[in-house]
Chains A and B, each alone.
Chain A
């Protein structure tokens, strides 16, 4: 952590010249071709790009589901390039909150138990705190009344709210959302984006991957990715203005 403070105070993601190369049989696929990216604490960043541009690879790397082939990647100050599977899993549990396009709730357990589950994987919260925290988080996302419901008893929007509550379970450093509104109608999608915005206003760091400019428009900063490189970055003045 001391090292982290030396490199730049308050950086949640620090990617320096990160490349990712996949070996597909005899062909080498360069999914990421040396990107450098820094995301500050409390930022709301959208990563945009067409399919195959490398945005999913960036998401997987930031989410510690994968390691870079070359370059240095620090998540919350920790260099993840050399970590083993077990350490990576622990970082995922403590620092990252995933929100998926298809919600990915566990169907056989209730909304409440879904939120509780990640708290069992790491020890951020003591056993006796967990129940109360899960309840509070579900209340935060507006599902205080539906805690005992099973995923198949909830609407798409409600499921995504449960998923967001689950992402917040271990109070992560960053929330990684992969097309979180992709499976929702416009109105419900709007509401979910509003929820992200309010989380952002509470000081949460959010990285949102999308190909939809309207969704990306909610972020402070939009990082455009193309052919495995960062094409350009734009700052959303409106949002920034509202925030300041």
Chain B
């Protein structure tokens, strides 16, 4: 029989057992769908991570230094002293030329607590970052120097809430009572008509209050909601209430190098934009004097968790980044380096170029994908067993038919192909629909991940190769699940089959 005829007959058979075929297809569909959802999702995650590192953190001319066990800058030990930094700044290549343009540090502030108007922010940490370019893009001027701070999203939100309370507190009790009466529609009407397009006005929060006062009828809960929404919006989107955060003074208490509690007033000069993986609870200062210290060889030294080393233009032009990297690696292996003294012999120092960090991310995500994919593949295996089961039932049911086909000239091979094509067809349909549902499903997973891990804007990436592979694998699953039942069908003795009831 020609392939077209075989497929047509197979499809007729599938169509005539809709429920059974549907369940078999569903098994494969779930398996393929799960794999595709995971692959699509993790690819998006990988892109998000890479974007964070390449856009927000590192550039092609930078080399990052962290301690072993940390991933990029997360979980690294405070091991790099100001003496190490000084050495790197003066690093020269064999030809005597300076290799390093700039060395930036990342660190922690010991015992840090931030206050605003006498109330402390919980869940916020203050970190050290000397290079403003390395900060996630900011809506304002991100240059931080002594007495200045760039605040993270958590602090921004917290301050918004504080403003909201203050604004609302400005209303009289009588006003508030009257606000209770208004409906949401009326509230919107009032805001839009009476407050002269507040959306364009930078002082929207105050205008809202003004509108409520004017209307003398507003619902307290709705006022709260309206203001909460105002604060929820990303700080980068320039909403007026967020704008009020800038320029405010925060009060920082920290543990000084001499062990006493020190205090500083810091002016907010920038708000951190949401970055997928930047800890949103962290705020950044650039000042050296806040950083943690260690006593090394009897001398107290500032220590940092990581370094970002920018090489000179010449090094970039001559593509000698690796040489610099090797020189740095050699230095951190040297027992004379402070990092080696702090880390001892147990932990290594990771010196990585951007390319290496990218491949490191890819490897880590790849492991995650493989692990999740393996779990999903189990679903595919179960689906395959389902198809095999359905095919075995089908063969049993059609025994007599097989007898008739053999009596009318079908060869064993012909019968085999017929049943095999049925299994392959079921699996192909399952794989095809599975791919589409998997792509859709990945979006649900991404949304869930964004919600749970508070990661923003994981991109949606089409991984075409995987979709093609999935369909081919689906067909192979069809062959594997169909071959035994089809072989059973082919072996049937026609005489017995024709007698079969």
Binding site for B on A (CB under 8 A): 60, 63, 65-66, 85-86, 89-90, 92-94, 96, 98, 100, 104, 106, 108-109, 117-118, 120-122, 127, 166, 169-170
Query: Distance in Å from the Cβ of B414 to the closest Cβ of chain A?
Result: 6
A149 to B9 alpha-carbon distance, docked (Å): 17
* Contacting residues, chain B, for A104 (C-beta < 8 A): 400-401, 403-404, 498
Contact A90 B498 (CB under 8 A): no
Q: Does B16 reach chain A (CB closer than 8 Å)? A: yes
B408: which of A85, A86, A93, A108 is its contact (CB, 8 Å)? Answer: A93
Main secondary structure, interface of B, reads helix
* Contacting residues, chain B, for A120 (C-beta < 8 A): 1-2, 5
Smallest Cβ-Cβ distance to B496: which chain A residue: A65
Contact A92 B407 (CB under 8 A): yes
Q: Does B495 reach chain A (CB closer than 8 Å)? A: yes
10 contacts between A and B (CB under 8 A): A60-B495, A86-B413, A89-B409, A89-B414, A96-B407, A98-B404, A106-B404, A108-B12, A108-B16, A121-B1
A94: which of B406, B409, B411 is its contact (CB, 8 Å)? Answer: B409
Binding site for A on B (CB under 8 A): 1-2, 5, 9, 12-13, 16, 400-401, 403-414, 494-495, 498
Contact A92 B409 (CB under 8 A): yes
Smallest Cβ-Cβ distance to B1: which chain A residue: A120
Query: Distance in Å from the Cβ of B152 to the closest Cβ of chain A?
Result: 66
Contact B495 A66 (CB under 8 A): yes
A120 to B1 alpha-carbon distance, docked (Å): 5
* Contacting residues, chain B, for A98 (C-beta < 8 A): 404, 407-408
Among B400, B404, B406, B498, residue most surrounded by chain A Cβ atoms (within 10 Å): B404
Task: Assess A121 versus B414: contact at CB under 8 Å? Given A89-B409, A104-B498, A109-B12.
Answer: yes
A118: which of B2, B408, B412, B494 is its contact (CB, 8 Å)? Answer: B408
* Contacting residues, chain B, for A86 (C-beta < 8 A): 411-413
Contact A121 B412 (CB under 8 A): no
Other 14 A-B pairs with CB < 8 A, given A86-B413, A94-B409? A65-B498, A66-B495, A86-B411, A89-B409, A90-B409, A92-B409, A93-B410, A98-B408, A104-B400, A104-B401, A104-B403, A104-B404, A104-B498, A109-B9
* Contacting residues, chain B, for A92 (C-beta < 8 A): 406-409
* Contacting residues, chain A, for B401 (C-beta < 8 A): 104, 106
Among B5, B16, B408, residue most surrounded by chain A Cβ atoms (within 10 Å): B408
Query: Distance in Å from the Cβ of B158 to the closest Cβ of chain A?
Result: 69
Task: Assess A65 versus B494: contact at CB under 8 Å? Given A92-B409, A109-B12.
Answer: yes
A89: which of B9, B13, B404, B412 is its contact (CB, 8 Å)? Answer: B412
* Contacting residues, chain A, for B1 (C-beta < 8 A): 120-121
A121: which of B12, B16, B411 is its contact (CB, 8 Å)? Answer: B411
A117: which of B400, B408, B412, B495 is its contact (CB, 8 Å)? Answer: B408
* Contacting residues, chain A, for B494 (C-beta < 8 A): 65
* Contacting residues, chain A, for B413 (C-beta < 8 A): 86
A98 to B412 alpha-carbon distance, docked (Å): 18
A121 to B411 alpha-carbon distance, docked (Å): 8
Smallest Cβ-Cβ distance to B5: which chain A residue: A120
* Contacting residues, chain A, for B407 (C-beta < 8 A): 63, 65, 92, 96, 98
Query: Distance in Å from the Cβ of B79 to the closest Cβ of chain A?
Result: 74
B411: which of A85, A117, A170 is its contact (CB, 8 Å)? Answer: A85
A90 to B410 alpha-carbon distance, docked (Å): 8
A86 to B414 alpha-carbon distance, docked (Å): 10
A89 to B9 alpha-carbon distance, docked (Å): 20
A86 to B490 alpha-carbon distance, docked (Å): 11
A187 to B76 alpha-carbon distance, docked (Å): 96
Lowest 3 A-B CB distances belong to which pairs?
A93-B409, A121-B409, A118-B408
Smallest Cβ-Cβ distance to B9: which chain A residue: A109
* Contacting residues, chain B, for A121 (C-beta < 8 A): 1, 405, 408-411, 414
* Contacting residues, chain B, for A118 (C-beta < 8 A): 408-409
Query: Distance in Å from the Cβ of A59 to the closest Cβ of chain B?
Result: 10
* Contacting residues, chain B, for A63 (C-beta < 8 A): 407
A86 to B413 alpha-carbon distance, docked (Å): 8
Contact A89 B411 (CB under 8 A): yes
B405: which of A60, A65, A90, A117 is its contact (CB, 8 Å)? Answer: A117
* Contacting residues, chain A, for B400 (C-beta < 8 A): 104
A169 to B495 alpha-carbon distance, docked (Å): 21
Contact A100 B406 (CB under 8 A): no
Contact A85 B412 (CB under 8 A): yes
Query: Distance in Å from the Cβ of B199 to the closest Cβ of chain A?
Result: 65
Query: Distance in Å from the Cβ of A32 to the closest Cβ of chain B?
Result: 14
* Contacting residues, chain A, for B404 (C-beta < 8 A): 98, 100, 104, 106
Query: Distance in Å from the Cβ of B120 to the closest Cβ of chain A?
Result: 76
* Contacting residues, chain B, for A85 (C-beta < 8 A): 411-412
A45 to B413 alpha-carbon distance, docked (Å): 33
Among B2, B409, B411, B412, residue most surrounded by chain A Cβ atoms (within 10 Å): B409
A89 to B411 alpha-carbon distance, docked (Å): 5
* Contacting residues, chain A, for B410 (C-beta < 8 A): 89, 93, 121
* Contacting residues, chain A, for B405 (C-beta < 8 A): 117, 121
Smallest Cβ-Cβ distance to A98: which chain B residue: B407
* Contacting residues, chain A, for B2 (C-beta < 8 A): 120, 127
* Contacting residues, chain B, for A100 (C-beta < 8 A): 404, 498
A120 to B7 alpha-carbon distance, docked (Å): 13
A122 to B408 alpha-carbon distance, docked (Å): 9
Contact B495 A89 (CB under 8 A): no
A90 to B404 alpha-carbon distance, docked (Å): 14
* Contacting residues, chain B, for A106 (C-beta < 8 A): 401, 404
Contact B411 A90 (CB under 8 A): yes
A106 to B10 alpha-carbon distance, docked (Å): 13
Query: Distance in Å from the Cβ of B237 to the closest Cβ of chain A?
Result: 61
Smallest Cβ-Cβ distance to B412: which chain A residue: A85
A60 to B412 alpha-carbon distance, docked (Å): 18
Contact A170 B498 (CB under 8 A): no
A109 to B10 alpha-carbon distance, docked (Å): 11
Query: Distance in Å from the Cβ of A4 to the closest Cβ of chain B?
Result: 21
Smallest Cβ-Cβ distance to B404: which chain A residue: A104
Among B9, B405, B407, B494, residue most surrounded by chain A Cβ atoms (within 10 Å): B407
* Contacting residues, chain B, for A89 (C-beta < 8 A): 406, 409-412, 414
* Contacting residues, chain A, for B409 (C-beta < 8 A): 89-90, 92-94, 118, 121-122, 170
Smallest Cβ-Cβ distance to A100: which chain B residue: B498
* Contacting residues, chain B, for A122 (C-beta < 8 A): 409
